[in-house]
Amino acid sequence: MIDIKFLRENPDIVKDNIRKKFQDSKVPLVDEVIELDTQRRAAQQKADSLRAERNKYSKQIGALMGQGKKDEAEQMKKLVTEKSDELAKLELLEEELSEQVTKIMMTIPNIIDESVPIGKDDSENVEVQRYGEPFVPEFEIPYHTDIMEKLNGIDLDSARRVAGNGFYYLMGDIARLHSAVIAYARDFMIDRGFTYCVPPFMIRSNVVTGVMSFAEMDAMMYKIEGEDLYLIGTSEHSMIGKFIDTIIPEEELPKTLTSYSPCFRKEKGAHGIEERGVYRIHQFEKQEMIVVCKPEDSKMWFDKLWQNTVDLFRSLDIPVRTLECCSGDLADLKVKSVDVEAWSPRQKKYFEVGSCSNLGDAQARRLKIRISKGKDKYFAHTLNNTVVAPPRMLIAFLENNLNEDGTVRIPEVLRPYMGGKDIIK
């Protein structure tokens, strides 16, 4: 959420930013919120003036009563009552105007970084760099669920009967591989100085609206019926929520955490054939990383976070590339975002396996996450990035480590997590 003071002083910058994100219908909201904010501040000033008058009259009542001037005191009491009634109306108006201002401000997109390429959607994202040589074997690579089924590693039919489409049973060595990748990712991040955390898997609505836009919330979150609780779509939600309404001493920063959680997503809309199987699902597990830091350090941490994901995939011999997300592909709270995509030798192209985002002070402003430096206080910057998210990551793993005979190689770094196995067959 943008600072209302910044919007008041720089309306043209905010409008231009909205146009860069191809959300022209939101441009009139800038003038609308400025007008509402002007009315709110006027109501606030008048209310403050009335409070001062009421307090002054209240003091005079005591003095008049002490002087035996009861009639004058009674007249003053009537004035105090009138001021109180008028003040109550103004306070109600101020509250209503504040709610309207906040509601609009929550829909105005954050100011994107000047380095973000301008484009309408993900088709205009820009490749930054490739890591590792993409390889296509001479033999045909089956679809990922076919590979898993031949290894007795997945049961989609039973999952459909139990929960419907978008769910799965992982079995045997594939299930073990899934857990091994998560465990390896956990230790990988701990070795890089991050604190391991297992967060709540449900969060309240005030946390949900603090960490994401309304559009994201509607498209992603599952609501628990009858309770003010939502299933998390990623552990970033509860990890950033951990710091809600806190003041962090500057010397304690940065907060660098890596978290494990199951994730639950509606995944609304139709998807192509390449997104069947376990590519786009309602339930999966993920190792995440989040950082809470000083504003001047967020760009540095942004580069460190996406590099961690690249390094992890390369340690498993999986070629990847980084992709700069264009303006139209950024969620409203994001300042800048880079996707990490893994090579698919079957499709002969890259596909997304992680996303790194710098949200500036947007989440901190909504959740009141502040930093203290002496008597001064200011909003923190928050960042998040996927370490690894199987089972989607398993697609890249299986395709890049499949042998012609249908067996799957286990990279050396993963073998301790697979009971010493060097192959799945």
Same domain (yes/no): 68, 150:
no
What dihedral do alpha carbons 49, 52, 58, 60 form, nearest 10°? -100
Whole-number pLDDT of residue 192 = 97
Asked, for residue 127, whether it belongs to a domain, the answer is yes
What's the pLDDT at 78? 74
Model pLDDT, residue 190: 98
| Structural domain includes residue 115 | no
Residue with tokens 């139709």: 270
Q: Residue type at 206?
A: N
Q: Is 51 helix (H, G, I), strand (E, B) or coil?
A: helix
pLDDT of residue 155: 94
Is residue 361 domain-shared with residue 271, that is, in the same domain?
A: yes
Residue where a domain terminates, one of 54, 72, 105: 105
In the prediction, which pLDDT does 129 show? 97
CA-CA distance, 50 to 56, in Å (whole number)? Answer: 10
In a domain, 111, yes or no: no
- Is this prediction's pTM over 0.85? yes
Note the pLDDT of residue 74.
67
Write out the residue range of the structural domain in which residue 57 sits.
4-105
Please provide the DSSP assignment of 189-229 as one string: HHHTTPEEE---SEE-HHHHHHHS-HHHHHHHPEEPTTSS-
Q: Are residues 245 and 312 in the same domain?
A: yes
Question: Whole-angstrom Cα distance, residue 383 to residue 292?
Answer: 7
Four-residue CA torsion sign, 320, 292, 261, 191: positive
Q: 374 and 233 in one domain?
A: yes
State the DSSP H helix or E strand holding residue 313, giving kind and residue range, or none if neither. Answer: helix 298-315
Query: Would 114 be classed as within a structural domain?
Result: no
Express each pLDDT in 336-366 by its tens digit.
Answer: 999 999 999 999 999 999 999 999 999 999 9
Specify the pLDDT at position 309: 97
Total tally of structural domains belonging to the chain: 2
Max distance between CA atoms of the chain, in angstroms, equals 107
The H or E element containing residue 111 is none
Say whether both 406 and 377 belong to one domain: yes
Scanning 67-117, the segments in alpha helix (DSSP H) are 70-105
Judgement on whether residues 98 and 132 belong to the same structural domain of the protein: no
63 part of a folded domain: yes
Q: What's the pLDDT score for residue 278?
A: 83
Cis bond leading into 199, ω under 30°?
A: no
Specify whether 47 is located in the same domain as 164.
no
At 48, which CATH number? Answer: 1.10.287.40
296-335 pLDDT tens trace: 999 999 999 999 999 999 999 999 999 999 999 999 999 9
Domain for residue 116, yes or no? no
The low-confidence residues of the chain, meaning pLDDT below 50, are 270-274
Instruction: Check whether residue 94 and residue 193 sit in a common domain.
Output: no
CATH number at residue 227: 3.30.930.10
At 215 the pLDDT is: 77
